[in-house]
């Protein structure tokens, strides 16, 4: 597999996302019906005619899902030992920095406390806008820590996943995150 061609494809996709302004659309991209005045579109970014769902930025999604001002993010920054993967692969580090500059996110995963309908929970969001929402060392650790916290506090977990899989740049480290998350998630069955 040619990693450079995949990075080029992601750059093209990210450029399309950056240049694509949902707010300025007049017609649906799917059915071409007028959506600009639709309340369903302006609130939830859904076409009232064909139910096409447009991309919603992660913090907008959190705002739509959770009780007002209840979301408190945690594990935004992990200890430096988790950044060794960027030291090992400088091109990968550049791509991650490019996505950080573009999205304002430092990883594909957001985790935090929130309330939904008055019920406290742990929220885990994988967002496609940062490296395709892919699972890597840092995102795997953030998810595992969030699940551990949910278990210790006996809180439900709400997860929104917009991901294309694991990060091939991290190789086996990325694939190991799936096993790690599965093991940590197993603790939920014991409460």
Range scoring the smallest mean pLDDT among 73-82, 119-128, 152-161: 73-82
* pLDDT computed for residue 101 by the predictor: 92
Structural tokens at position 139: 């995102």
Top-confidence residue, 19 or 50: 50
CA angle 62, 129, 94 (to 5 degrees): 130
Question: Coil, strand, or helix at residue 73?
Answer: strand
Q: Is the pLDDT of residue 87 over 70?
A: yes
Domains of the chain by range and CATH? 58-190 (3.90.226.10)
pTM: 0.82
């Amino acid at each position: 597999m040619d990693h450079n061609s995949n990075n080029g494809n992601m750059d093209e996709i990210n450029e399309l996302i950056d240049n694509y302004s949902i707010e300025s659309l007049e017609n649906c991209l799917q059915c071409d019906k007028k959506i600009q005045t639709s309340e369903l579109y302006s609130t939830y970014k859904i076409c009232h005619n064909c139910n096409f769902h447009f991309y919603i930025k992660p913090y907008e999604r959190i705002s739509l899902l959770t009780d007002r001002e209840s979301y408190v993010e945690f594990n935004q920054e992990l200890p430096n030992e988790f950044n060794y993967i960027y030291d090992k692969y400088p091109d990968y580090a550049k791509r991650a920095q490019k996505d950080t500059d573009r999205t304002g996110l430092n990883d594909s995963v957001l985790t935090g406390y929130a309330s939904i309908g008055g019920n406290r929970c742990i929220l885990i969001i994988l967002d496609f806008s940062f490296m395709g929402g892919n699972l890597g060392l840092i995102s795997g650790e953030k998810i595992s820590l969030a699940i551990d916290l949910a278990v210790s506090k006996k809180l439900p977990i709400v997860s929104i996943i917009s991901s294309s899989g694991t990060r091939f740049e991290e190789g086996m480290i990325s694939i190991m995150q799936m096993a790690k998350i599965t093991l940590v998630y197993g603790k939920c069955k014991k409460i």
